[in-house]
Amino acid sequence: MKRICTWICVLTVLLSSFSGAVFAAENQDAGESSLTGEEIAFLQRELSGYGYGEENFTADVLYDGQGNPAYMLGVTDGGYLIHERGTYGFEERGEGNPFSDYMDVQKYYGGPICYFVYSPDPENPENCYYDILRDEYSNFVPKLNTKSDMFYQMLLGFIRAWIRLCDWTSGR
């Protein structure tokens, strides 16, 4: 009976994690290029909670390397934060705003300290992404392994270890 209850708990966790990942994928596939009221309110609460204040609040969508509106950027005079859309998974935060000089163009997020904007290189138009921190052009934005991907991998590792433990305790 104890083993059945454990399996039910594990299956519940698995199903809930898959539904969150599916929701995030649906949100990204829908092509929503503007933030919802709920997302904006979330960013305001988070910025305030980190002590960044609410002065000159701005929020915008950040695109991933495949051109999906996958992240959201919240900015105040005190700092910025980046969260994954759909799951609201935390990505990063800090003082200032890495996109401060590029708020009117399409922005891309390739992971921590990988900030790009759409701006074709005048000398080589194939390189259409400008890397803000490295001051160079690129023809791609790096793909970021999302928090939900890492959570899924961690969960699979936990399940495998748990099965091995069950096999070991039952004498198999």
pLDDT tens, position by position, 73-95: 999 999 999 999 999 999 999 99
Q: What is the mean predicted confidence (pLDDT) over 157-172?
A: 67
Q: At what angle do helices 2-29 and 147-170 cross, to 10 degrees?
A: 160
pTM of the model: 0.66
Q: What is the mean predicted confidence (pLDDT) over 142-171?
A: 64
pLDDT band at 71 (very low <50, low <70, confident <90, very high): very high
Report residue 156 as tokens: 């699979």
pLDDT at 151 exceeding the cut of 70: no
pLDDT band at 147 (very low <50, low <70, confident <90, very high): low
CA dist., res. 39 & res. 24, Å (int): 13
SS3 content of the chain, % helix, strand, coil (to 5): 40, 20, 40
Let me know: does 83 contact 42? Beta carbons within 8 Å: yes
> pLDDT tens across 92-142, in order?
999 999 999 999 999 999 988 899 999 988 999 888 999 999 999 999 898
> pLDDT tens across 25-57, in order?
444 444 567 999 999 999 999 999 999 998 999
